[in-house]
Amino acid sequence: MAGEFSRRTEGLLDQAETVCEHRGAKLTELRRHVLGLVLDAAAPTGAYELLDRLRQSRRGAAPPTVYRALDFLLEQGLIHRVERLSSFVGCVAGCTTGHGEGESHTHAAQFLICRQCGKVTEMQDADVTAVLARAAKEAGFSISGATIEAEGLCGACRSASARRPAG
Ligand SMILES: [Zn+2]
Ligand SMILES: [Zn+2]
């Protein structure tokens, strides 16, 4: 089934496979397929949409199949779940270099969600994470995971709607 996705996606999938190998985890053909669907999608994709797409080449695919694959990909930090949209996006950093903090392969991330075109941009701003950690510490709180989701208009949509340069 090679060559099913765009060349860029296939490249990321190869890298993700290597990242998994280094950790002693296995990116099975099914997991690779689901990750490919997430990476190839233009916008964040929900589990049922992924199931529909998966069924185009795997007729018997059932919801638990997709959920188990998604759980694995989340654990490996190869994808993120955007709660606001109940959808999944690929983490290119996770696919290319891998990233891990302590025991976990997941990492703190911020998402900018465009309410017009639905585009989601991932940021990994250490300052944001540090400020949040400090404020939490002052409240006697220990953070184990932090995903921040911000809604608004992306640069392209801003310059399309207002005829002045964005930013
Ligand atoms: Zn990420
Ligand atoms: Zn937009």
Show Cβ contacts of residue 104 under 8 Å, excluding neighbours closer than 6 positions. Answer: 77, 145
Any idea which residue has 């990116």 for tokens?
Answer: 27
Task: Tell me what the mean pLDDT of segment 75-94 comes to.
Answer: 92
The answer to whether 19 and 64 are in contact (CB under 8 A) is no
**Residue 150 token pair:** 């911000």
Of 58, 56, 69, the C-alpha closest to 27 is 69
- DSSP, residue by residue, the chain: -TT-S-HHHHHHHHHHHHHHHHHT----HHHHHHHHHHHH-SS-B-HHHHHHHHHTT-TT--HHHHHHHHHHHHHTTSEEEEGGGTEEEE-HHHHHT---BTTBS---EEEEEETTT--EEEE--HHHHHHHHHHHHHTT---S--EEEEEE--HHHHHHHSSS---
Measured in Å, residue 127 CA sits from the centre of ligand 2 at: 25
Measured in Å, residue 123 CA sits from the centre of ligand 1 at: 8
Measured in Å, residue 61 CA sits from the centre of ligand 2 at: 33
Q: How far apart are CA 73 and CA 34, in angstroms?
A: 9
Name the band, by pLDDT with cuts 50, 70 and 90, for residue 167: low
Q: Residue 166: is its pLDDT beyond 60?
A: no
**First-to-last C-alpha distance (Å) of the chain:** 43
The predicted structure's pLDDT at residue 146: 84
pTM, 2 dp: 0.84
Task: Tell me what the mean pLDDT of segment 129-155 comes to.
Answer: 92
Strands 87-90 and 79-82: antiparallel
The predicted structure's pLDDT at residue 114: 94
Measured in Å, residue 146 CA sits from the centre of ligand 1 at: 12
Measured in Å, residue 95 CA sits from the centre of ligand 1 at: 9
Q: How far apart are CA 79 and CA 35, in angstroms?
A: 8
pLDDT in tens, 41-70: 988 999 999 999 999 999 989 999 999 999
Share of the chain above pLDDT 70, in %: 91
Measured in Å, residue 106 CA sits from the centre of ligand 2 at: 26
Task: Tell me what the mean pLDDT of segment 132-159 comes to.
Answer: 93
